[in-house]
């Protein structure tokens, strides 16, 4: 099976490539990645893949690579909410125009397509209610990031309906695990602590995220590619709801510090309150189950990874902190 992975040098895409090579001996993997600040060639160290550096908005390149593939798994995106507030343009280009080019190519070549998306397209939930997102929840995105992801999902649905493209969509909750850029919440806190910097939390820290280990996300993606119904959307989650304050307290404890050893900073505009995923369809229809049930031990393993792989994250760290410092002045 010839698999084209876009964004395969990013966090989830690179873990997907490693998992694919480890579990599917028949897979020949091509990675298309622009190596933006978020992509790292070293995330694919040891992976036997063909690597193509390029943009998903490059229609001619995408057409050629899709024509050489049996399945396309589209991870490439501008993925960071904070950056989307400071500079939304690249989000429209990559997330919307890039998806359009891929859809046109899979349509021309009749290639199977799987679209990776986020639960953030659904907006947020109240803190103290039992509601969770389902495949029927209406779209209600809050940020330029989530609105461009929502737009790309709608393009996929339209290309299925109008042109019979063979596609599925998954909307997943917050991922954690190795090789995540240090701009993101968990790696930022962990690497700050390694550097002796006290953690800082947006607002009251009671915002709830539904955490899933990246390997569970990726095994669910394969279940959908293998057994999903064409044209369907599947929500991916693992019952991992934890508020941000608790995540920071856990990190501090696991790193040998007092759990209350952090500060609060002014909240980010439009900061979603709570996300929670109902993944019944994935379980009942496709028989998928997560392997990482214990957030604390997954977190401990992730901290160990960042401790052992300073060479991987150190080059990103100072530029990331400089960006945060500028954004905090603007917001
Ligand atoms: N991180 C999460 O918790 C999470 C949760 C649900 C869904 N998702 C989705 O999963 C996908 C991957 O997220 P991630 O966290 O791995 O992101 P990431 O930012 O770590 O990686 C994105 C990758 O895409 C590449 N890229 C960016 N623009 C490109 C372009 N125009 N052309 C080609 N390559 C380009 C980057 O170089 C990078 O390697 C995204 O679609 C995101 O919306 C992420």
- pLDDT, one tens digit per residue, over 172-223 is 999 999 999 999 999 999 999 999 999 989 888 999 999 999 999 999 999 9
What mean pLDDT do residues 150-170 have?
98
pLDDT digits (tens, 9 = 90+) for 56-101: 999 999 999 999 999 999 999 999 988 999 999 999 999 999 999 9
Catalytic-labelled residue, pool 33, 78, 101, 120: 120
Is 269 part of any domain?
no
8-state DSSP, 133: B
Catalytic-labelled residue, pool 100, 113, 122, 145: 145
Is 280 part of any domain?
yes
Give the alpha-carbon dihedral of 216, 217, 218, 220, to 10 degrees.
80
Q: Any idea what the CATH number is for the domain that residue 166 is in?
A: 3.40.50.720
| Distance set, CA 23 to CA 19, 20, 257 (Å) | 6, 5, 38
- What separation in Å is there between the alpha carbon of 77 and the centre of ligand 1? 4
- What separation in Å is there between the alpha carbon of 38 and the centre of ligand 1? 8
Q: Is 176 left (phi over 0), alpha (psi -120 to 50) or beta?
A: beta
Concerning whether 294 is annotated as a catalytic residue, the answer is: no
Is 265 part of any domain?
no
Is 247 part of any domain?
no
Whether ligand 1 lies within 6 angstroms of the CB of 10 is answered as: yes
- What separation in Å is there between the alpha carbon of 39 and the centre of ligand 1? 8
Is 148 part of any domain?
yes
| Contact residues for 136 (Cβ-Cβ < 8 A; gap 6+) | none
Structural domain range at position 45: 2-177+213-238+274-291
Number of domains in the chain: 1
Is 130 part of any domain?
yes
The three-point CA angle 158-164-170 to 5° equals 60
Concerning whether 78 is annotated as a catalytic residue, the answer is: no
Strands 208-210 and 241-243: what pairing?
Answer: antiparallel
CA dihedral (94, 175, 292, 9) positive or negative: positive
Q: Which band of pLDDT confidence, cut at 50, 70 and 90, is reported for residue 145?
A: very high
Q: How many CA atoms lie within 13 A of 46 on its CB side?
A: 8
Is 77 part of any domain?
yes
Whether ligand 1 lies within 6 angstroms of the CB of 98 is answered as: yes
| pLDDT computed for residue 331 by the predictor | 42
E strand intervals along 130-189: 167-172, 175-176
Concerning whether 120 is annotated as a catalytic residue, the answer is: yes
Is 110 part of any domain?
yes
| pLDDT computed for residue 62 by the predictor | 99
Burial of 74 (0-12, 13-18, 19+ CB in 10 A): buried
Is 237 a residue whose pLDDT tops 70? yes
């Amino acid at each position: 099976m010839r698999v084209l992975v876009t964004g395969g040098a990013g966090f989830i895409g690179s873990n997907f490539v490693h998992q694919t090579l480890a579990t599917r001996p028949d897979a020949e993997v091509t990675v298309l990645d622009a190596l933006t600040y978020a992509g790292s060639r070293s995330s694919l160290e040891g992976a036997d893949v063909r690597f193509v550096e390029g943009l998903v908005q490059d229609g001619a390149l995408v057409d050629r690579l899709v024509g050489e593939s049996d399945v396309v798994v589209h991870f490439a995106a501008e993925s960071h909410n904070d950056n989307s507030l400071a500079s939304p343009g690249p989000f429209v280009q990559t997330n919307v125009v890039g998806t359009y080019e891929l859809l046109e190519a899979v349509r021309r070549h009749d290639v199977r397509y799987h679209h990776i998306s986020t639960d953030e397209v659904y907006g947020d939930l109240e803190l103290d209610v039992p509601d969770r997102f389902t495949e029927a929840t209406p779209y209600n995105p809050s940020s330029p990031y989530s609105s461009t992801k929502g737009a790309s999902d709608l393009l996929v649905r339209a290309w299925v309906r109008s042109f019979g493209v063979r596609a599925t969509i998954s909307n997943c909750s917050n991922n954690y695990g190795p090789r995540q850029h240090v701009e993101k919440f968990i790696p930022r806190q962990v690497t700050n602590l390694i550097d002796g910097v006290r953690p800082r939390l947006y607002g009251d820290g009671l915002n709830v995220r539904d955490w899933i280990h990246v390997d569970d996300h990726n095994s669910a993606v394969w279940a959908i590619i293998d057994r999903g119904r064409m044209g369907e959307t599947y929500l991916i989650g693992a019952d991992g709801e934890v508020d941000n304050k608790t995540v920071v307290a856990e990190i501090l404890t696991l790193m040998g510090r007092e759990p209350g050893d952090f500060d609060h900073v002014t909240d980010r505009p439009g900061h979603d309150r709570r996300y929670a995923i109902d993944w019944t369809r994935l379980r009942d229809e496709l028989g998928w189950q997560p392997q990482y049930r214990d957030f604390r031990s997954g977190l401990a393993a992730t901290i160990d990874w960042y401790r052992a792989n300073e060479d991987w994250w150190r080059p990103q760290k100072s530029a990331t902190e400089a960006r945060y410092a500028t954004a905090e002045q603007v917001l």
